[in-house]
Amino acid sequence: GRCYTTASTRHGNHVTVLGEQYPTDAMTNISPTIISKLPLRLHTQPSHPLSTLRSLIESHFPSYAHLSSLSPIVTPYQNFDLLSFPQDHPGRSATDSYYINKDFMLRTHTSAHEVEVFGRGENKWLLTADVYRRDEIDGSHYPVFHQTEGARIFPADASGMKEVEDDNVRLAAHLQRSNIIIEDVPHLSPQNPCQPAHDPEHTKLIAQNLKLSLNSLMLHLFGGRVGATAENPLRVRWIEATFPWTTPSFEVEVFFRGKWLEILGCGVVRQATLDNSNVSNKLGWAFGLGLERIAMVLYSIPDIRLFWSRDERFLGQFKEGAISTFKPYSRYPACFKDVSFWLPEATSLHENDFCDLVRDVAGDIVEDVKMIDAFTHPKSGRKSLCYRINYRSMDRSLSNDETNELQAQVKWQLINQFGVEIR
């Protein structure tokens, strides 16, 4: 599909991001809505639920370095290449990631900083940051969310392995006394193998340390809050996974209020990534955890847009350091509008391009976007699409005139940016 450029870039050939000017090019797809989120850094705003959750995680790893101020602007080399993403990985495409230009992008995950932080000589660290992914629009997806990366590396020798074993004994003793049921998977398996450069016995000790450290974090975050008891223990499930820079790799899910919730991805860091960080003689693990998913559950926050609200009825409910149950204020009426259009001949429109266009027009007033119809005309070969946009403010009632005006602007931008013909 055609690349989406912002109004400011179409008329000039620069875009200003966090006070710096960047030349634009064919890869540029960062939108004004996204640019406006970059300075907000919710994970550092006192008493914001995401900031409290960050502190809660940090307090569980007191001897780790706690980082939270790295710039979201990284190179594709940092975000992908240093982590061994293959050249054809879908995450690299402009439909999935935000590019300032071909040389700079917004990090899609906190793992983008692993090599840099290991390279600085940090052996135990946490890093919390805003991350950016182009995505659909609904109550649990937002193009900006927050992750905490955690990592620990040990000397890859007898002294390092002794350190791991001692830590494993300590952590296992703590977990044994707790009301937690863990559905485990083997540390290694044919689909989830050891790195050729690593000793499988060392890798197993590291994987065990990773699992014990994270099970203990889950207990810290959720244990008290589900009131885990002998009859009603906290349930944590480990699943085999794949990430380009870790093996073995895992995902962790927690059973909370009747549902399995995917919390994090993790694994034993590959030798190539350790080599890129100049720590070839170390061995260890890393994890990356999604803060919104956890905060929505812990605070009973029903819609991911609320994290961005400046309404006192939202912000006023939270105190720094405290987990409390959010009391929703009245929901204002929703109003949906459909838009149908013909695409210009031989072109396509990615759903993420449509969603960014709608966000630029309507901001957080858009609650949900769904494609409700698509067909190709049998004779002309032209493609027709119909999207349903659901508008609802979280803070006030929308007038009919206002939604009509937003919808008119969506149509205008569709014509303007993609040359469509409204039906």
Which residues of the shown chain bind ligand FA5 in the complex (CB under 6 A)? 109, 111, 133, 135, 141, 145, 147, 243, 246, 262-267, 286-288, 290, 292-293
Q: How far is the CB of 235 from ligand FA5 (least distance, A)?
A: 17
Which of residues 4 and 243 has its CB atom nearest to ligand FA5 in the complex? 243
Closest approach, Cβ 264 to ligand FA5, in A, equals: 5
> Looking at beta carbons only, is 80 or 341 nearer to ligand FA5?
80
Per-residue HEC secondary structure of the chain comes to CCCCCCHHHHHCCEEEECCEEEECCCCCCCCHHHHHHCCCCHHHCCCCHHHHHHHHHHHHCCCCEEECCCCCEECHHHHCHHHCCCCCCHHHCCCCCCECCCCCEECCCHHHHHHHHHHCCCCEEEEEEEEECCCCCECCECCEEEEEEEEEEEECCHHHHHHHHHHHHHHHHHHHCCCEEEECCCCCECCECCCCCCCHHHHHHHHHHHHHHHHHHHHHHHHCCCCCCCCCCEEEEEEEEEECCEEEEEEEEEEECCEEEEEEEEEEECHHHHHHCCCCCEEEEEEEEEHHHHHHHHCCCCCHHHHHCCCHHHHCCCCCCCCCCCCCCCCCCCEEEEEEEECCCCCCCCHHHHHHHHHHHHHHHEEEEEEEEEEECCCCCCEEEEEEEEECCCCCCCCHHHHHHHHHHHHHHHHHHHCCEEC
Please report how close the Cβ of residue 288 comes to ligand FA5 at its closest, in angstroms.
3
Q: Which of 133, 359 has the CB closer to ligand FA5?
A: 133
Query: Between 49 and 290, whose beta carbon lies closer to ligand FA5?
Result: 290
Candidates 206, 215, 116; CA nearest to 160 is 206
Nearer to ligand FA5, 292 or 360 (CB): 292
Closest separation in Å from C-beta 350 to ligand FA5 = 16
CB of 289 to ligand FA5, least distance (A): 6
C-alpha closest to that of 149 among 135, 133, 129:
129
Q: Closest residue (Cβ) to ligand FA5?
A: 290
Q: Which residue's CB is nearer to ligand FA5, number 38 or number 286?
A: 286
Q: Are 383 and 350 in contact (CB under 8 A)?
A: no
Residue closer to ligand FA5, measured from CB, 95 or 413: 95
Q: Which is nearer to ligand FA5, 159 or 191 (CB)?
A: 191
Residue with smaller CB distance to ligand FA5, 149 or 353: 149
Please state the closest distance from residue 262 (CB atom) to ligand FA5, in A. 5
Residue 45 CB, nearest distance to ligand FA5 (Å)?
A: 18
CB of 124 to ligand FA5, least distance (A): 15
